[in-house]
Structure 1
Amino acid sequence: MTTVPLSSLATVIRSKNAGPFLLTFDVMFEDAAHFDTVWESGRFTKPAMAELFGVEENAITSIFAVPRGQAIKVTMRRQLPQGKLGESDMYGCQQHAPLLDLAIPLRVA
Structure 2
Amino acid sequence: MAKIRDICPHIRSKQAGPFWITIDLWFDGPQAFETYHASPALSPDLFARLFGTDPALVKRIPAPDLNVLKISYPRATSQGGMVERDMHSGQQYVRLLDVELD
- TM-score, normalising length: structure 1: 0.84
What is the aligned partner in structure 1 of residue 96 from structure 2?
Answer: 99
Structure 1: distance between partners of 2:44 and 2:28: 25
Structure 2: distance between partners of 1:83 and 1:41: 33
The structure that has the greater radius of gyration is 1
Change (3 A) 1:21 1:40: closer
What is the aligned partner in structure 2 of residue 89 from structure 1?
Answer: 86
What is the aligned partner in structure 2 of residue 70 from structure 1?
Answer: 67
Which ranges of structure 1 fall in alignment gaps of 5 or more residues?
none
Structure 2: distance between partners of 1:30 and 1:49: 22
Which ranges of structure 2 fall in alignment gaps of 5 or more residues?
none
C-alpha root-mean-square deviation of aligned residues, in Å?
A: 1.5
Q: AA paired with 1:47?
A: D
Identical-pair percentage: 30
TM-superposed deviation, 1:23 = 0.4
Q: How many residue pairs align between the two structures? A: 102
TM-superposed deviation, 1:51 = 2.4
What is the aligned partner in structure 1 of residue 13 from structure 2?
Answer: 15
Change (3 A) 1:76 1:40: closer
Secondary structure of 1:96's counterpart equals helix
